[in-house]
């Protein structure tokens, strides 16, 4: 079922783009975003990049055990976040989505606290870095097993449909996730139920080292939507406005009861898969440099500069502000301290069973 008055066609041959490399609007429809919204998008992209670089630095200093670099994903993630209703819609993210979570409004100190493993993390430092979540923002806590959050996302969307809540569930993942059985099980169930879900692939072309050619026989990810009775959108994920507008349309479609969709945002991962990866073993440097020339921040900055919404002075001031914000967040997160050892026994169940009470006493030397 396709809604009327839609801006975008599913299953296009080429990725949907509304802004060219020169930063010119080529959308073919009226841009309806206020100047403050446009600069907010850019600021959130810049913030994602600054936080990514600074967390990387903390990792190299040994303060953070692991990072999953998000450079190159900023336009896609900021586009997704701003198409959602924060605290109302639900998000099932994956580990590379720090920029998305920040743009959605999660406090920086919580994100930093999560990666530092301190009590600034609302999840009590139970998970490795880059695995945040937020009950307050309806952001399902990130899990490592790839695509294992997809069936739960389908379930939340089905629950939203049953409740007639008007909420939408957005579920993000990388290209590798689409090979997992759980991905297909979850997307298929959402399709069968016509649930208000938007499945979003941040396709950076690599699952650690394995490229698309070895990941799937499909030429692209969005075509898999055919199999589940939903539209599949093919989008230039380095174009923040294309990412935003397509997500906005897919979310509106779901909210209005027309069912789920699959959105493929084509991006590139500038860094390795993680701080434990050496991407020079499988990616030619020329390829990385070629993609960096298409940088989503540079492109969008050109767009803003043409409208006199941004300049060198604002850039420098914003970078200073974001750097200071990060420094302050680290300080605050560190001051929160590490959760006490005994807290590792909390939240296994609502109540502490006798056996765990005994194990806690033994571990603390009281038994």
Partner 1 sequence: MSAVTMVQAVARTLDEEMARDPRVVVMGEDVGKRGGVFLATEKLFDKYGPDRVIDTPLAEAAIVGAALGMAVHGLRPVAEIQFADYVYPGFDQLVSQVAKLRYRSGGQFTAPMVVRMPAGGGVKGGHHHSQSPEAHFAHTAGLKVVFPSTPKDTQGLLRAAIRDDDPVVFLEPKRLYRAVKEELDDDPDFALPIGKAAERRRGDDVVLVSYGGSMAETLRAADALVEQGISPHVIDLRSLAPWDEEAVLSAVARVGRVVLVSEAPHTASFMSEVSATIAEEVLDALLAPPARVTGPDTPYPYAQDREYLPGPNRILRAVQRVLDY
Contact with partner 1 (CB under 8 A) among 27, 152, 298, 325: 152
DSSP helix/strand/coil, 337: coil
Is residue 360 part of the contact set for partner 1 (CB under 8 A)? no
Task: Output the DSSP codes for 233-273.
Answer: EEEETT-HHHHHHHHHHHHHHHHTTS--EEEEEE---SS-S
**In degrees, to the nearest 5, what angle opens at C-alpha 138 toward C-alphas 135 and 140?**
80
Instruction: Provide Rg for the chain, Cα atoms.
Output: 21
Q: Which stretch binds partner 1 (CB under 8 A): 96-104, 184-192, 218-226, 265-273?
A: 184-192
- Please identify, among the stretches 33-41, 261-269, 292-300, 345-353, the one whose residues bind partner 1 according to the rule CB under 8 A: 345-353
Minimum CB separation of residue 270 from partner 1 in Å reads: 29
Catalytic residue among 131, 269, 283, 299: 269
Enter the tokens of residue 290. Answer: 């070629």
Is 226 among the residues that bind partner 1 (CB under 8 A)? no
Please state the closest distance from residue 69 (CB atom) to partner 1, in A.
23
Q: Is 42 a catalytic residue?
A: no
Region at 28 (left for phi over 0; alpha for psi -120 to 50; beta for the rest): left
Q: Is the dihedral of CA 97, 103, 106, 109 positive or negative?
A: positive
Question: Is residue 93 a contact point for partner 1 (CB under 8 A)?
Answer: no
Active site residue 282: yes
The conformation of residue 105, written as its DSSP 8-state character, comes to T
Nearest to 115 by CA among 69, 78, 159: 69
Out of 40, 282, 294, 302, pick the active-site residue. Answer: 282
CB of 85 to partner 1, least distance (A): 15
Which parts of 54-83 interact with partner 1 (CB under 8 A)?
none
Considering only 80, 158, 238, 304, the residue that binds partner 1 (CB under 8 A) is 158
Task: Give the CA-trace dihedral at 343, 67, 74, 203, to 10 degrees.
Answer: -100
Residues at the interface with partner 1 (CB under 8 A): 90, 121-124, 126-127, 131, 133-136, 140-141, 143, 145, 148-160, 162-163, 169, 181-182, 185-186, 188-189, 192, 346-350, 353-355
């Amino acid at each position: 079922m396709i809604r009327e008055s839609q801006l975008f066609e599913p299953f296009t041959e080429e990725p949907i783009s509304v802004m060219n490399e020169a930063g010119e609007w080529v959308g073919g429809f009226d841009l309806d975003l206020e100047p403050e919204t446009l600069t907010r998008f850019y600021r959130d992209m810049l913030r994602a990049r600054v936080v990514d670089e600074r967390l990387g630095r903390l990792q190299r200093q040994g303060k953070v055990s692991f990072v999953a670099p998000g450079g190159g994903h900023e336009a896609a993630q900021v586009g997704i976040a701003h198409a959602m209703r924060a605290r109302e819609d639900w998000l099932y993210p994956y580990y590379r989505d720090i920029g998305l979570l920040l743009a959605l409004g999660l406090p920086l100190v919580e994100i930093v606290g999560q990666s530092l493993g301190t009590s600034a993390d609302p999840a009590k430092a139970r998970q490795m870095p880059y695995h945040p979540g937020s009950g307050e923002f309806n952001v399902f806590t990130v899990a490592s097993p790839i695509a294992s959050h997809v069936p739960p996302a389908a379930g939340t969307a089905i629950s939203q449909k049953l409740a007639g809540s008007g909420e939408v569930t957005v579920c993000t993942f990388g290209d590798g996730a689409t090979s997992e059985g759980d991905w297909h099980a979850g997307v298929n169930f959402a399709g069968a139920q016509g649930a208000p879900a938007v499945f979003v692939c941040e396709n950076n072309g690599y699952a650690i080292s394995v490229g698309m050619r070895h990941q799937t026989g499909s030429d692209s990810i969005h075509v898999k939507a055919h199999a589940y009775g939903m539209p599949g959108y093919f989008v230039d994920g380095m174009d923040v406005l294309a990412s935003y507008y397509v997500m906005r349309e897919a979310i509106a479609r779901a909210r209005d009861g027309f069912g789920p969709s699959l959105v493929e945002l084509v991006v590139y991962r500038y860094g390795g898969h993680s701080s434990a990866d050496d991407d020079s073993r499988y990616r030619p440097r020329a390829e990385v440099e070629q993609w960096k020339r298409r940088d989503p921040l540079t492109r969008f900055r050109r767009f803003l500069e043409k409208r006199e919404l941004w300049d060198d002075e604002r850039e420098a001031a914003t970078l200073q502000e974001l750097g200071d914000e990060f420094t302050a967040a680290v300080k605050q997160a560190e001051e929160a301290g590490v959760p006490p050892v005994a807290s590792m026994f909390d939240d296994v169940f609502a109540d502490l069973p006798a056996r765990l009470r005994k194990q806690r006493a033994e571990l603390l030397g009281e038994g």
